[in-house]
Structure 1
Amino acid sequence: MLVFDGIRIIHIIAGFLALFTFWIPVVTRKGGGVHRGIGWVYTISMVVVSISAFYMGVYRIFFDSISDQTVIAFSWFLIFIGLLSGSTAWYGIRVLHFKRRKHPHRVIIDLLIPLFLLLGGIGMVIYGHLIDFPLLAWFPLVGIFLGASHLWYWLRIPKMKKQWWIEHLVGMLSCSIATITAFTVFGAPQLIDVESVHPVLWFIPTIIIVPMIIAFTCYYTKKFK
């Protein structure tokens, strides 16, 4: 448990750091020093959140003898949050690295990660419905959509010169869904000293950020065209 508690503290620190630094790159000049510097702070924080979330979820499910069904369900959600945050952060960085590509992308790791997100989302939705757990039954639909859209982007030739710009923005905004949702599910109840918040609140970050992603995508697609 000592290792678990240490990882949990690191996870909380990285999560709060990501939560407070995400909006700075969004509102600052794109490509500037602040955008790049704080952007890397956010990205590294999300990598730490992803790895630590995966570890804690696996520990709770397979190595914690006192875990009941509810704890196991939340642990699977934690694992999925780790997969979602890690894959979207990876995607947001990798599209910058290959922004000048003129052919379908065939780097295996860039295809496997969204494939895992897609298949993991499908598995979580099925599991969530089987145990009647709304958070797992519906939230992973975001991962299914994002995994499919990432594969779609990599396997096709970009139609616009700055398509990578839009994909980078979408990747990082999608990553923030994982950050804020995890805080709503795990962090906020501890701060206000309640066992759990109403399930409807779990989906508010998705309800708010997904329209933002659509709006930004439409705006910049029109602008770049």
Structure 2
Amino acid sequence: MEILFDGMRWLHIVSGFLALCIFWVPIAVKKGGRPHRKVGWVYVWAMGSVSVSAFFMGIYRLTWDAGPDPDAIPFSWFLLLIAVLSSATAWYGIRVLRYKRRKAVHRQFADLLFPGLLLIMGVGISVYGWFIDFPLLQYFPILAIFLGGSQLIYWLKIPKTTSHWIVEHIVGMLSCCIATVTAFTVFGAPRLLNIESVSLIIWFLPTIVMVPMIIAFSNMYKKKMDRPKKSA
């Protein structure tokens, strides 16, 4: 089992580093163009590997070997939350493109499962964070609760705007980018900088920076695509 854990850890490191290096490309290039689509798919597959490996390592730490670090258990729960958050947002970002022309309520199990799980995990881990007085677990799950709830609402409502699919694609993929950079600041940065931990504000910096970016891109496409048609 330890050999498998080491393999998953290396998969996590390599995939996470790849995702961290390329996540900005689909943001910067022309939307819908070849580079956007090609690099976007590489990012999605990289984050899929990150999610699977993170989920395995989190379960491993919780059930087999937490190690001597007293914060290993709380960070393992955070790792599980990041795994679900990454996979849920990436899946959502892809699926809204496939159903961009839908005119009815969407109840496919595969599309309701992830946001439901994200919502439940967000609530449970936040309660756990308050119980053990661990700030990262107290506040970060709020993002998971919001995203899980908003995704469920989107699928269970009939779209009323032309821009609905591209706005939700932006929300999904940039939320996945938040998970990418947050995981690096929590797990990678302390090791690279050879410090024990970083401050809470640094952990939340990706969210603070990227949420306004999500709002700006969403408003831009809403204005562009939802303009009322001029009468002849």
Q: TM-score, normalised by structure 1?
A: 0.97
- What per-residue deviation string (whole Å, max 9, x for no partner) do you get for residues 35-57 of structure 1? 11100000000110011100000
Unaligned runs of 5+ residues in structure 2 are: 227-232
State how far apart, in whole Å, the 1-side matches of 2:185 and 2:70 are.
21
* Residues 1:66 and 2:67 are matched in the alignment: yes
Q: How far is the alpha carbon of 1:15 from its aligned partner?
A: 0.5
In structure 2, relative to structure 1, the CA distance for the partners of 1:155 and 1:178 (3 Å cut) is same
Aligned 8 A contact 2:163 2:221 in 1: no
Aligned 8 A contact 2:130 2:138 in 1: yes
Residue correspondence of structure 1 range 11-26 to structure 2 within 5 A:
11-26=12-27
1:146 alignment counterpart: 147
2:159 alignment counterpart: 158
RMSD between superposed Cα atoms in Å: 1.1
2:32 alignment counterpart: 31
1:45 alignment counterpart: 46
Aligned 8 A contact 1:60 1:67 in 2: no
Over alpha carbons, which structure has the higher Rg? 2
Q: How far is the alpha carbon of 1:67 from its aligned partner?
A: 5.0
Q: How far is the alpha carbon of 1:163 from its aligned partner?
A: 1.2
Q: Look up the equivalent residue of 2:98 and give its one-letter code.
A: H
Q: Look up the equivalent residue of 1:84 and give its one-letter code.
A: L
Q: Look up the equivalent residue of 2:41 and give its one-letter code.
A: W
More divergent stretch after superposition (133-142 vs 1-10): 1-10
Q: Look up the equivalent residue of 1:182 and give its one-letter code.
A: A
1:107 alignment counterpart: 108
State how far apart, in whole Å, the 2-side matches of 1:178 and 1:65 are.
23
- What per-residue deviation string (whole Å, max 9, x for no partner) do you get for residues 120-177 of structure 1? 1000110000000000000010000000110111011111123111111110000011
State how far apart, in whole Å, the 1-side matches of 2:75 and 2:198 are.
13
Residue correspondence of structure 1 range 190-209 to structure 2 within 5 A:
190-209=191-210
State how far apart, in whole Å, the 1-side matches of 2:64 and 2:154 are.
38
Unaligned runs of 5+ residues in structure 1 are: none
Aligned 8 A contact 1:61 1:67 in 2: no
Aligned 8 A contact 2:66 2:73 in 1: no
2:126 alignment counterpart: 125
* Residues 1:219 and 2:211 are matched in the alignment: no
Aligned 8 A contact 2:88 2:114 in 1: yes
Q: How far is the alpha carbon of 1:27 from its aligned partner?
A: 1.3
Aligned-pair identity in percent equals 57
Q: How far is the alpha carbon of 1:65 from its aligned partner?
A: 5.5
More divergent stretch after superposition (199-208 vs 177-186): 199-208
Aligned 8 A contact 2:66 2:72 in 1: no
Q: How far is the alpha carbon of 1:196 from its aligned partner?
A: 1.3
Aligned 8 A contact 1:14 1:46 in 2: yes
Residue correspondence of structure 1 range 159-174 to structure 2 within 5 A:
159-174=160-175
Aligned length: 225
